[in-house]
Amino acid sequence: MKYIIHDQVILSREPEGPLAAHLLSFANAISAQGYNIWSLKRKVLIAACFSRWLKQRGVGVRDICFDHATRYLRYRAQHFRPRNDARAALRQLIDFLRGEGVIPPQQMATIRISAVERRVQEYEEYLRDIQALARATIIHYVPFVREFLKHRFGDGKVTLSKLSAADVVRFVQAQAPRLHLKQAKLMTTALRSFLRYVRYRGDITLDLAAAVPVVANWSRPSIPRGISADQTRKLLASIDRRTAIGRRDYAILLMLARLGLRSSEVVFLELDDIDWNAGQLSVSLDGHLDESADGKDLQHHPGIKLLCR
């Protein structure tokens, strides 16, 4: 059975919860602001879902505050594909309820959170809404970033522009001995992700992600890091460059051996990434491809230009 909320909004199920009686007036208010039909439907649907969630947790209309909206967004991120419009829709809904006197003004005071936690929440939103990373990945990354910021700034103001390579190295040196190998590597991956994020935001100008130390794999010391120079020369000499496939393989091996690129970086190279005049390659650093990488300091190589896309 379908339930008509507004002449342009039809829900597939009956509205429930403390906000059910206010959905029509909310829809009218949104419509009067000139939003298109699609936006109107999305905002009302999110409001209806929020109301149902409040009912399940026994929250009355007079008890609703911003904290409930924040908790609902976290719940929604675990059960639905992340979208950027949910947070804005809830903000509009709560502002509307406040304006209508449905929610007492004293309930609307923004909950104070620490400067570190505010930065962590912003980073978490970036991973979810912009990077669209899996929830499990976000859950693994966030605690390490929180500890890093607490280690550097404590309970005081968080000024990301003051971060330095020494801060990064000191944190890894302090934490790595306490962690298992896989956790230590996950920590360094999370740090690189966060430091690329703050550089993307413009909070820092240096590529501090390159300063994150590589965690040595002491459990397998007998496995070599690479083949010798003589073995590399023999491998290259064995390729038949008279064929197109041979020339392709030769070029791939040269990039792996002489530029130190990873296989994932070579795979995603395109012809447009090659600047023939400058003798330079543009290598894309993608958060999804980089999640499990140990990382390399490529920025100083004369033949490589790093791009964060």
Check pLDDT > 60 for residue 204.
yes
Q: Specify the pLDDT at position 297.
A: 43
Judge whether 219 lies within some domain: no
Q: What is the mean pLDDT of residues 35-53?
A: 85
Residues 7 and 98 in one domain: yes
Q: Taking each helix axis as running N to C, give the angle between helix 85-99 and helix 23-32, from 0 to 180 degrees, rounded to the nearest 10.
A: 110
Residue 99: pLDDT band with limits 50, 70, 90: confident
Three-state secondary structure along the chain?
Answer: CCEEEECCEEECCCCCCCCHHHHHHHHHHHHHCCCCHHHHHHHHHHHHHHHHHHHHCCCCHHHCCHHHHHHHHHHHHHHCCCCCHHHHHHHHHHHHHHHCCCCCHHHHCCCCCCHHHHHHHHHHHHHHHHCCCCHHHHHHHHHHHHHHHHHHHCCCCCCHHHCCHHHHHHHHHHHHHHCCHHHHHHHHHHHHHHHHHHHHHCCCCCCHHHHCCCCCCCCCCCCCCCCCHHHHHHHHHCCCCCCHHHHHHHHHHHHHHHCCCCHHHHHCCCHHHEECCCCEEEEEECCCCCCCCCCCCCCCCCCEEEEEC
Residues 264 and 203 in one domain: no
Q: What is the mean pLDDT of residues 116-141?
A: 85
Domain region containing 184: 115-211
Residue 199: pLDDT band with limits 50, 70, 90: very high
Residues 246 and 303 in one domain: yes
Q: What is the mean pLDDT of the chain?
A: 79
Both structure tokens of 298:
């490529």
Residue 192: pLDDT band with limits 50, 70, 90: very high
Which range is most confident: 58-62, 160-164, 176-180, 226-230?
Answer: 160-164
Check pLDDT > 60 for residue 295.
no
Q: Specify the pLDDT at position 78.
A: 74
- Kindly give, in sequence order, each residue whose CB lies less than 8 Å from that of residue 180, ignoring residues fewer than 6 positions away: none
The structural domain count of the chain equals 3
Residue 8: pLDDT band with limits 50, 70, 90: low
Residues 94 and 13 in one domain: yes
Percent of the chain with pLDDT over 70: 79
Question: Of the residues 83, 108, 133, which one is the last residue of a structural domain?
Answer: 108
Q: Specify the pLDDT at position 227.
A: 75
Residues 99 and 9 in one domain: yes
Q: What is the mean pLDDT of residues 291-298?
A: 40
Judge whether 66 lies within some domain: yes
Reported as a single tens digit per residue, the pLDDT across 217-266 is: 655 445 556 677 888 888 889 999 999 999 989 988 888 887 777 777 78
Judge whether 96 lies within some domain: yes
Check pLDDT > 50 for residue 300.
no
> Which CATH number is 141's domain given?
1.10.150.130
b/e string for 117-135 if b means 16 or more Cβ within 10 A? eebbeebbbbbbbebebee
Question: Of the residues 108, 129, 147, which one is the last residue of a structural domain?
Answer: 108
Residues 128 and 201 in one domain: yes
Question: Of the residues 159, 180, 211, which one is the last residue of a structural domain?
Answer: 211
Judge whether 224 lies within some domain: no
Judge whether 249 lies within some domain: yes
Residue 156: pLDDT band with limits 50, 70, 90: confident
